[in-house]
Each structure stands twice: as C-alpha cells, then as structure tokens.
Structure 1
Amino acid sequence: MESLDISISPDLSELLDEKDEELEKVCREQDEEWMTLCQLAGKYVLTYCKKYLCEEPFRTSKRSGHIFIQEILRGNETRCYENFRFKKAVFIDLPHDLTEKYGLKATCGISTHKMLGMFFMVCAHGAENRMIQEIFQHSGETVHRHFHSMLNVVCNLAIIRPRLNYNDGVEAHKSCNERYLPFFKDCIGALDGTHVKARLPQGQEILYIDCKGYPTQNILAIVDFNMCFTFALAGWEGSAHDNRIFCEALRRQELNFPHSLENK
C-alpha cells in the first residue's frame, strides 16, 4: 500500500506563521486592555471606599445644630432676629403650625426647629450649603434635602389671595387721607414692581441685570389699603419692563389676577 506524502509549500508555511503572529499580537493587546481596565476599576473602587466607606469623620464639632438653636432661643431677642429674621416667639411657634397644617415632618436626626433654622438662615443671608453644614454639623446632602422639604412647605403656606370683599374697599381710606379721597375714592389697592437681588448660575446673570447693574428679579405685587398683599408674580428677569409683566399677569388666566369690578 502506498503512503501519501503531503508537503506544504514554503509560501503557505510563511503565511501560516504570519497568521499565528498576528493572533498572538491581538491576544496580547486584549490582555493589556483587560489589565488596564482592571487597574482603573480597582483604583475607582479604592477611591470610593476611602471617600464614602472608610472616610474620616468630617463634621465633628461639639457645638451641634441642636446646641446652636438652643443658644439662640435662650439668648437675646436681637440675636434670634439677626440670624433668622424672626422674633423668638414666632420662631418657637411656627414649626408647630407648619407641622399641624402644612405637613412638615421632623426626622430622627433633624428637629423641625433645626430645619426652620437652616432654611431661614439661607434665605436671610444667602448662606451657602457649606456654611450651613459647618453651623449645624450636617452633611451637604442632609442640608440640601431638608432645605427643599422646607421650601415645599413654605410654598404651600405662602398662598396670596385677596379677601372675598376686596372690591368693596372696606376700611380702605382713613380719615387722615381725606385730602386724597376725591382722587382715590374708587381705588381698592395699589400695584408696583419691585426688584429683589437674585443669585444665578454662572452664565445666566445677563438677562437678570437691571438698570442698577446687578442681577435681580422683577416682582409685580399688589396690596390693598389694609397693607395686605392680594397678588404677587415673581420670577421675571430684572431687565423685564414693569408693563410687560403686568400685561402677562392680565393675559394668563391661570395666574388668577384679582381684577377689579364695576367702576373700581
């Protein structure tokens, strides 16, 4: 029986060798990429553990937010007003009303008075999150969360609407204003625009810069002659004209602008 002699030509042999070398090169590159990915993953895991799992305590002051609030409430009346823009009696009683009527809820680590203190310190002084963290010894996430909880409650509280008989002009004019009565006998209130300083993200300030050169909101407000607000429209840029805001308030029915009746 004859044996078969299979021989490979030199050209084919060289081609196979080149293919093997290319395959080995691709495998090495894949291994290097995999090692690089493993090193990056390990680096990020280590960074996360150091920052969040094994981090050194940051807010460790013995003067906690609770101690700070108690110092304010037991101290001078002026100190409470300077920090929160409230008298002590109002600051003590307001959280109870917000809890019973508007759904404010304390947590295991934050009392309603502390939540109120953080919120109104930001509003009164434009304090940044980091400053509130340092004063009340809480994390930035905690400050952020409770600030927005208070903001929702206060928005529900601050509903401005006129009295049912505001068109009657009840008690609108006092005797000391008799010389103006002929001109304002049918007047039930007054409206005007007021500019309130605004802090905006970088790059968005230009539209809010008013004639005085700094960013503001132009707010339309209406009061009756008992000095009670009957309407307010906030959020407009400081560069917006008062007449434009007034026309928009008249046009948009959902704003519930308090229109006067008959000849008022």
Structure 2
Amino acid sequence: MKRAFPTYIAVFLATTVLTPAGAAEADFASPPSKGAVSAARLLAAGPAQGGVYRAGVEIDLNPATITYWRQPGEAGSPPVFDFSRSVNVARVETSFPAPKHIDEAGTIVAGYDGKVVFPLKVTPQDPKAPVTLNLTLDYAACGKICLPAKAELSLALPRAGASPFAAEIAAAEKRVPQKVGAAEAKKRLALRKEDAQDSWRLSYKGPGKAQDVFPEVAEPLFIESKRDGADFTLTLFSTGAKPKAADATITVVTDKEAFEAPARLE
C-alpha cells in the first residue's frame, strides 16, 4: 500500500520547492497595481551592464481591452510615465514597441491589446549606489467603455542575479522601431502630394514589404493613414489652423523589421 506523507511534510516540501522561484520573481518585479480591466508592474532585466539598467513597464490587459501608443490618432490617450520620484536616477529612456491599428467602435486607433512591455534604459546618478525606480503611470484601458487607470509602482533594481523577465524584456526591445536618418529615409520612402487637399501618397521601396505605417506629427495636428493598394494614403488633420508644411515621423512595420524615419509634408 502506498504510504501518504503527513500533511506538515507535504507543506514543507512545497514551500521548499516553490519559495526560491517566487523569491527570484519578487526581486525582479514590483507588486502589480491592478485596475478594473488591467494591471501594471515594473520589471527588471538584471544587474546594470555598462552602467545602464534594462527594465520595462508591463501593462497586462483583460481580453477585448486595449491601451494606446504614444500618438493614438483621432481618439485615445497615450500612456504618461513619471519617474521624477526615483532614487539615484539620472535618466530614464522609455521606448514604445511598434503598435497595431485597432478598430475601436468604428474609429481606427494605434495601440496594443493583450499585454505590452515598454522597455526602459535607466542611467543612475551614482553607478556604485542602489537605484530605486518610482513610477507614476497614467494610461487608458478601453473595452466596452474606456477607463482611466493610474498605477504607483516601485522597484529596487537588483545588483546581482538572473532575472526571469530578461527574455520578455529583450523581446519587447526587438519590437521597438529602429531610427533611420533622412538620407536612409529617402531610399526607403517616397512621398508625393495627392490632388486632394492635405493628402499624400506614401510608397515603400524596401527592404521587405510594408505591412502598416504609423505617421506622427506635433499637436494640434494629427495624421490618418490608410492602405491604398501597395501604397498608403496619409491625410493631415488639425484642431486649429493648418500650416503650409509639417515635419512628421513615420513608423513603418515590415515583414522584416520596424523602423521610424523623418518626413516632410509640404
């Protein structure tokens, strides 16, 4: 007959096995701040390398819920990251992974669904002293209704050990569009003015095939993009007076990579 362990032994073994993994995760992630349809937390990729820590802000969304890119379009609120209360931090560089276009009740916005990690590069003031990230995060979590969310997050960045989130942060970093200069942009993109007012046709010349484009311009302007055959149509809108020309940034997602390039609309 198979002999059962006493209850106290089973509990001891379970604790012995599970505690190290749980402790390791707690060392590299802040407690989650949970909202009605989302949760947010800070993640650390590991100790500093070359004087810089790699980290991330994770927003985990319920099914059928979205959050927004840095310039969503006609509707939506981009996330706002405030690291001003951090300890021993000289600079935090926040990156946005390439978004997708999402139909939100008939309005097309640029954003994310499911889960998104925004990569961070954290430079300490004193590389020899401990670093604590303190983040106030404001973002929108939108499903059937759009709910504002606020998270207060804190994480002491670890100075030793292997992070269980290193691969997740590295994957998010690969999704961040690479910046190209004006000369390279002219090789990859062709813009020509359409007959319609405030409209341009964007042709992509490679490498790879363009899957989607996300144009940005300074407020009070915004740009709407639509696929038109192999090309894209960019239409400029404004909540005020429209200028004769505007400087834009165009993020292109291809079957090989994503990149962002400067453009001049005139």
Choose between structure 1 and 2: higher helix proportion.
1
Common fold by TM > 0.5: no
Q: TM-score, normalised by structure 1?
A: 0.26
Choose between structure 1 and 2: higher strand proportion.
2
| Structure label with greater radius of gyration | 1
Q: TM-score, normalised by structure 2?
A: 0.26
Q: Which has the higher contact order (CA 8 A, sep 6+)?
A: 2
